[in-house]
Structure 1
Amino acid sequence: MRRLGLRALKWPFDSKEVSGIVANLERYKQTIMLCLQVDQTTILLDIQQKFDSVSLQPCGDRPIARIPCFNVPFDRDPDFVDRPDITTWLQSQYTGSVSRMALVGMGGFGKSQVTIQFAHHIHSESPQTSVYWVHASSRPRFEEAYRSIAERLQLPRRNDPDVDVLGLVRDWLQTEEAGSWLMILDSADDVNLFYPIHISGDKAVTGLADENTIARTDQQPLAAYLPKCRNGTILVTSRSMDAAERLTGSHKAIHRVSTMDDAQGFQLFRNKLDGDFDKHAAADLLRALDYIPLAITQAAAYINRRAPRISITSYLDTFRESDKKKGSLLNRDAGDLRRYETVSNSVVTTWQVTFEQIRHERPSAAKLLSFMSFFNPQGIPEFVLYDYNADPTDEADRDVVRDSFEDDLDILRGYSLVSVTETGGVCEMHALVQFCTRFWISAAGNEGTWRQLFLRSVSRHFPDGTFETWPICQMLLPHVEPVFEKEPLHEGLLDWAYLLTNCARYMLTIGNYGVAENLSKKAVNTRSKVLGEEHPDTLTSMANLASTYRNQGRWKEAEELEVAVLESSKRTLGEEHPSTLTSMANLASTYRNQGLWKEAEELEVAVLETRKRTLGEEHPNTLTSMANLASTYWNQGRWKEAEELEVAVLESSKRTLGEEHPSTLTSMANLASTYWNQGRWKEAEELEVAVLESRKRTLGEEHPDTLTSMANLASTYRNQGRRKEAEELEVAVLETRKRTLGEEHPDTLTSMANLASTYWNQGLWKEAEELEVAVLESSKRTLGEEHPDTLMSMYNQAILWKDHDRVEDAHALMRNCVVIRQRVLGTDHPQTLSSVVCLAEWENTSALLSERNESG
């Protein structure tokens, strides 16, 4: 028979109950003695002695037997993927001196899963350590968990209605008899549950007006029931950094849980998915899911359930097909034995709990989250975000918002919804967080309002595309590109057209003519529909589209639009209105590019005379007209007249604008070009050096105008036979343009052609040919086979082949160039005529050689 121990027993009954039990045992003893033989009475006497040793001391005053307890409600996950950065940190904190630590991250990032694994690890490595699990999402949940602990420990008076069970558990855990323990405080997201704010004598009001957050005055805050002792550690999991900081008392005791890395995400997907799968398709899907553990698990469960009809690829196709279908997939609930039964494990629902908590806690932070959900997830500039709670056009209102912005951003960062880059001024979000935010505000019927505010804000902030604004344009472009293809509702049409106009200008300056054309067309159509075809803004959009055509060498289309703009401007604004004169100047430029010198000159003279009369002889616009007319004279070979005008423009610019004003430097460069065409190399060089030095100093070494000056000076060196100096400059220009503009920007291709010319003059045929071929191929690809710049590359390539004795190839290429130039530029265009003359000379030379060979 098993022997009874001699130590005092922990007894769950009072003295009266114990007396009754002993009396019953006495009766059992008498019955047994009657049934047993005499020689077994010694055993009964021994039992009697053990009963006599039972103390009837009140159990409230007696020590409790210390039995290790493990009440984690979840088993280990057989598919668990270790995340060493988290588990190593947990282990180091647990074995260190801290008594509290926390994992903070968004719902679905894997905090609880890592914690479950860690709890089982501690239980396995240290069986004498008790592990307690407390669900802390609400006060009732917290109380339920503590009562469960009291039951497991069989704490005295736990069923007494007059006893505070929460305090009973806390006090026991703070005793040495409790031994070492680890408490998991899971889902402690609401700081007000633990530290409520009292605003009246009978209520404690917190962020949410429900059972979780309104406490009676006779209730202690939950934080008061968390034990403080050396023999125990509390591990908190929370979505809220604020809650984690309050509960741990130290930012150093908190670890942010982010998404999985590529390898971890792939391993989790492999563990969850049945059978083999396409690794490349899986990688694409994981990227789309942002490597978020809950999203990965949910996707794998969906694919498993519907296989083989659903594959990874088909799931991804559905995911990307539309927001509606993406929302449907993310809103599905997949079974998970390691999540609470009453809590949905769909991504959408999991995160909407957080969104609602933020909305109650700080409504303005929820507004910021809603606004940010319409940006690209990466690289969100803070200066645009100030519009989230203000009228973008009201500067005074924006100043007030700036004061609260930091607090709102801090809330979102605390919930791991938003991060800030190390350099500052730029925010980032997960794409799925943005999508679920939009899903949330759409369900509330607010998506249209936020979408309209986003459009109004970015249209206001996107600059006009001048070089100085390029950094901002580059920063904002990824955020506005999705807007290009989706025409908004009527209320946002003019904001959309304004945004398209500025984006088109930027695209034009960086040489992306195709996109510039597409955006300009949409702006024209929108403004025509809303404002009318002759509204000034509509005419501006038409002029921008014509400029895009002009840069593509589509002179006829540009001319048609510019004529229409000019006629409308005359009719609606008047013949001498500044916009009308600008339209005339634009049309003159198109005529000049077609070699229609007479038509260009007539318009430019008319514009110049009108501007002199209405603006004055030294007004910047008047000086621009003089420079344009000089350019027409220059193209006609009328050097003297061009020079006289350019000298006059330069002197006036120096006097009225200053010697280093950009317009003054442009005038110097134009005059240098006129000297260059007359073979006056020294005078050209002096001006070009002066312009280059001034532009470096005032604009910077990588400004497009500075690079143009370097290219012009290199050309002057080349014509003086100073080929090494020319090459050095041209290489520098080419490298800078590749880096700042891109390898296929028209200006970059021009630099390549110039360097090829220098190589050709040095007899470096191979290097020259490689560059010319590259220029021609890039021009065909980016500008089109019939663009004037492409035709110029064909012309140069043909000459290079001719000089390199590839006569047949050269003749064939030049013939092609002649045919296309005649069709595109016209038979009388100077470039057409130059190629016709060149081909004729070659063919005559070939004919003479053939005759000599035959006669010889």
Structure 2
Amino acid sequence: MGSATGPYSQVTNIAEQHIHLTPPRREEVVWPVEVGPVPELATAFQPRTVVREGVDAARASGEGVVLTQVFSGGGGVGKSQLAAAYAGQALAEGAELVVWATAGDEAQIMAQYAQAAARVGVPGADGKDLEEDARAFCGWLATTSRRWLVVLDDVTDPVVVEPWWPVSRTGTGWVLATTRLRDARLTGGGRRRVDIGVYTPEEAAAYLHTRLAGEDMEHLVDEQAGQLAEALGYLPLALGHAAAHMINEDLSCTAYLALFQEEETRLEEILPATADAEGYGRQVTATLLLALDAAQRADGNGELVVPVLRLAALLDPAGHPHTLWATEPVLTYLTGHRTETPTEQAQQGPAPRPAAVTAGQARAALRLLHRYALLTCDTRAEPRAVRIHALTARAARETTLGHQVPDLATTAADALLEVWPDPDEPHPDLAATLRTNSEALSTHARQHLWHPEGHLLLFHAGTSLINAGLPSAATDYWQSMTADSTYFLGPDHPDTLTCRHSLAISHGQNGRLYDAINLHEQVLTDRERILGPQHPDTLRTRHSLAVSYGQAGRIHEAIALGEQVLTDTERILGPDHPDTLFSRSSLATFYRQAGHTQDAIDLLQQVLADSERTLGPHHPNTLASRNNLVTSYLDAGRTQDAINLSEQILADSERILGPHHPNTLQTRRNLASSYWQAGRIREAIALEEQVLADSERVLGPQHPDTLTTRHNLATSYWQAGRTQDAINLQEQVLADSERILGPHHPNTLAARRNLATSYWQAGRTQDAINLQEQVLADSERILGHEHPDTVLVREVLSGWRRRQPRGRTGGRRRWPGRG
């Protein structure tokens, strides 16, 4: 006889009587049904319009079958909030069932499904077996014509959730899932991953305004609101905590940002648990690193994920090259700093480990961290293939013990140096990426990069700025380096002298010639005293001082010092050393400036042959040597040679250095001068107008090279008969040259000379004669009586005085002193 008991029966033994209670009739389901419950939306919730458009487009492509969107992203980006918004929207738009199931483990999923089965009266769901009821619910979802949405929140294991993905054969259902994982197993079976990132700048600004206004605290929003959102990485969770803390402490955006940017301030202090106004339930640091334990437990390379994350946390969050993880310094560090995984910790003794970590293992550890959304590893994005959110990086740094930082910093610096190309000008994107990573590393571990002396990376990054033609950034960098080196090592340490030397070069590149000369002279005195007069570093400073003299128009001093430097470098370093080639090239430039054109050409041709042989035909120094030779060809009247060589250099420079590198602009300027000298004035003007626009944007409107370009354009306008345009531009050039270069600089003399010629052409004869007389006196005193420019000025002035204008050569106007 079968049992009469069941889930809706009760047997009570009273005086030998058996009373059987039959199962109650199921209550009629009241639609819509919500099982969960669905989380409340956060205060000032942002609708994430751009993300929603992508989700809606993906959903629309389902063509009548369920299309599952898997919201993937790191902690705190708002995945669950976005899913909750869709759940609310579904109910508002007529969905009859919404189920919110926490998907951390299988038991949680089955419990929610079984509860939903009971709520909607799924046939066969009798409450006896949780798993059977859950499976019955999945079967019901597949065939029902009712509209439904199931949210699987926080999927942590694709294997666990695989049997519980709902399907809809009627096309009336939809599944959303949220996860930190980037795992291909989550995107099979018609599922599509939708990556959820941080707020856009506009969304972050809107959130701060709305959140603070809702508390009647609008006064806390100030001009630093955008910078605060950027510092927080636009992370919704961090913005929520920050806004609550600002409200609690009455802190403006400026005041909060100042606290946040203090390196010694920890996240738990500025994003405290007391600011968890939305009941998230975890500290921000714990949230950001929540997946780290799971990554360590993963098969394969879990023992490497912690040291990999710690290294990545010291670098630029915007990304670093993937090749960094195959360098010898990184692999050596990882070999010696594996961490015990939870499985190993549970064992009696440590498991045997391989002798050395391979590049493949390092890459596997990166992919593991990528899979758990602790960083992003995408080789398509080189040279910024490996990226990490700034707050995740900060959380990792704050959980790194102090004694571990020196080795980490040295490893990162050594690895950055290993992947840094030399020269780096042909790789501008990679060079810029390496510079920002060096800056980030220095910010987080500055003191460790100055012990026992300055790490070579610090100097390499600054030299890269100089070579990239970024004089303002280079000046700022070397000023900071000089201060750091003086603080850590002392004013007379060789590294400090190197910093001051590089700062002087930056001043010269930035057009601050007198600052450059003064500093070079000081450094030269100190290097001669500390290192000795024949030390290679002393020779470099002497050479740089000669270059500054030449740039300032002190040609005779430049030649004397340049000849001394060349003799010393050939004797001490050898005739083919790069410093010797550079010294020879500079001396040739001084000869050209002094009017010794053939001497300059002979020396430059020797330099060019040596550069092509020792450095290669496409090395930036070789291109610079060709450029210098072009200028000398122009001075010698070898116009077609100058054009041919300029066109060749321009093609190489655009390909190797990029179209906007200062050296490329110089090449384009030389080509325009070659066209001008050949009488191809329209081509010269078109090219010079392009160069002027680029120079003003890249170098700035007051840079000496920009003044030279403006000066050259004025001469071309004059040659084309656009006299008033020439006068207007030349008056501007003269005023700028007198202010920036000084009244006696050769370029200032040239600007004054050219303006005088324009006055004469415009019929302002007396103005022209007065100005030209001043030019002659200055030229005789500064350049010498026999300098070609002085001789030409004297001839032109003599002709004007006789009212017989000189200056026609081959039927074309002769304009002296183009740059």
Q: TM-score, normalised by structure 2?
A: 0.71
Alignment pair present for 1:553 and 2:553: no
Counterpart in the other structure of 1:169: 134
CA 1:14–1:456: 2 relative to 1, 3 Å = same
**Separation of aligned partners in 2, 1:316 and 1:530:** 28
Which of 54, 73, 82 is the matching residue for 2:37?
Answer: 73
Higher helix share: 1
Which of 366, 373, 379 is the matching residue for 2:313?
Answer: 373
How far apart are residue 777 of structure 1 and its match?
A: 7.6
**Separation of aligned partners in 1, 2:771 and 2:17:** 118
**Separation of aligned partners in 2, 1:780 and 1:346:** 61
2:244 maps to amino acid: A
Contact 1:500–1:520 (CA under 8 A) maintained in structure 2: no
How far apart are residue 594 of structure 1 and its match?
A: 6.3
2:270 maps to amino acid: L
Counterpart in the other structure of 1:354: 291
**Separation of aligned partners in 1, 2:611 and 2:36:** 83
**Separation of aligned partners in 2, 1:650 and 1:136:** 69
Counterpart in the other structure of 1:16: 11
Alignment of 1:124-523 (within 5 A): 126=94, 129-138=96-105, 141-142=108-109, 145=112, 164-171=129-136, 173-174=138-139, 182=148, 184=150, 186-191=152-157, 195=159, 224=163, 230=169, 235-242=175-182, 246=185, 249-250=188-189, 252-261=191-200, 264-265=203-204, 268-269=207-208, 272=211, 273-275=214-216, 277=218, 281=223, 285-306=228-249, 309-312=250-253, 314-320=255-261, 324=265, 327-334=268-275, 344-361=281-298, 362-384=302-324, 386=326, 389-391=330-332, 400-402=358-360, 404-405=362-363, 408-409=366-367, 411-412=369-370, 415=373, 417-418=375-376, 420=378, 425-427=383-385, 429=387, 431-438=389-396, 440-442=398-400, 449-462=407-420, 467-482=425-440, 488-490=446-448, 492-493=450-451, 496-513=454-471, 515-520=473-478
Bigger Rg over Cα: 1
Counterpart in the other structure of 1:204: none
How far apart are residue 433 of structure 1 and its match?
A: 3.4
- SS for the counterpart of 2:216 is coil
Contact 2:442–2:449 (CA under 8 A) maintained in structure 1: no
Q: Which moved further from structure 2: 114-123 or 697-706?
A: 697-706
Q: TM-score, normalised by structure 1?
A: 0.68
How far apart are residue 138 of structure 1 and its match?
A: 4.4
Contact 1:170–1:227 (CA under 8 A) maintained in structure 2: no
- SS for the counterpart of 2:290 is helix
Counterpart in the other structure of 2:71: 103
Contact 1:459–1:496 (CA under 8 A) maintained in structure 2: no
State the identity as a percent. 22
Contact 1:242–1:414 (CA under 8 A) maintained in structure 2: yes
Q: Which moved further from structure 2: 70-79 or 647-656?
A: 647-656
**Separation of aligned partners in 1, 2:190 and 2:492:** 63
How far apart are residue 12 of structure 1 and its match?
A: 3.9
Contact 1:376–1:478 (CA under 8 A) maintained in structure 2: yes
Alignment of 1:495-644 (within 5 A): 496-513=454-471, 515-520=473-478, 541=499, 543-548=501-506, 550-551=508-509, 552-554=512-514, 555-566=517-528, 570=532, 575=534, 585-586=543-544, 588-589=546-547, 605=563, 630-638=588-596
**Separation of aligned partners in 2, 1:592 and 1:763:** 33
Query: Aligned residue pairs: how many?
Result: 748
**Separation of aligned partners in 1, 2:195 and 2:556:** 72
**Separation of aligned partners in 2, 1:82 and 1:570:** 68
For residues 417-441 of structure 1, the C-alpha deviation after alignment (integer angstroms, 9 at most, x for no partner) is 4374965553475755345434553
How far apart are residue 234 of structure 1 and its match?
A: 7.3
Which of 690, 698, 720 is the matching residue for 2:644?
Answer: 690
How far apart are residue 413 of structure 1 and its match?
A: 5.3
* Structure 2: gaps of 5 or more residues: 336-354, 802-819
**Separation of aligned partners in 2, 1:672 and 1:255:** 56
- SS for the counterpart of 1:437 is helix
CA 1:480–1:166: 2 relative to 1, 3 Å = same
* Structure 1: gaps of 5 or more residues: 1-8, 25-53, 196-220, 847-856
Contact 2:100–2:152 (CA under 8 A) maintained in structure 1: yes
1:16 maps to amino acid: V
CA 1:545–1:63: 2 relative to 1, 3 Å = same
1:70 maps to amino acid: E
Superposition CA RMSD, Å: 5.7
- SS for the counterpart of 2:177 is strand
CA 1:264–1:20: 2 relative to 1, 3 Å = farther
**Separation of aligned partners in 2, 1:810 and 1:289:** 62
Counterpart in the other structure of 2:814: none
Contact 1:103–1:111 (CA under 8 A) maintained in structure 2: yes
How far apart are residue 350 of structure 1 and its match?
A: 2.3
1:255 maps to amino acid: V
**Separation of aligned partners in 1, 2:16 and 2:194:** 54
**Separation of aligned partners in 1, 2:735 and 2:634:** 30
CA 1:95–1:450: 2 relative to 1, 3 Å = farther
Contact 1:134–1:145 (CA under 8 A) maintained in structure 2: yes
1:711 maps to amino acid: R
How far apart are residue 122 of structure 1 and its match?
A: 4.2
Contact 2:312–2:393 (CA under 8 A) maintained in structure 1: no
**Separation of aligned partners in 1, 2:619 and 2:709:** 26
**Separation of aligned partners in 2, 1:407 and 1:251:** 29
- SS for the counterpart of 1:255 is strand
**Separation of aligned partners in 1, 2:363 and 2:662:** 37
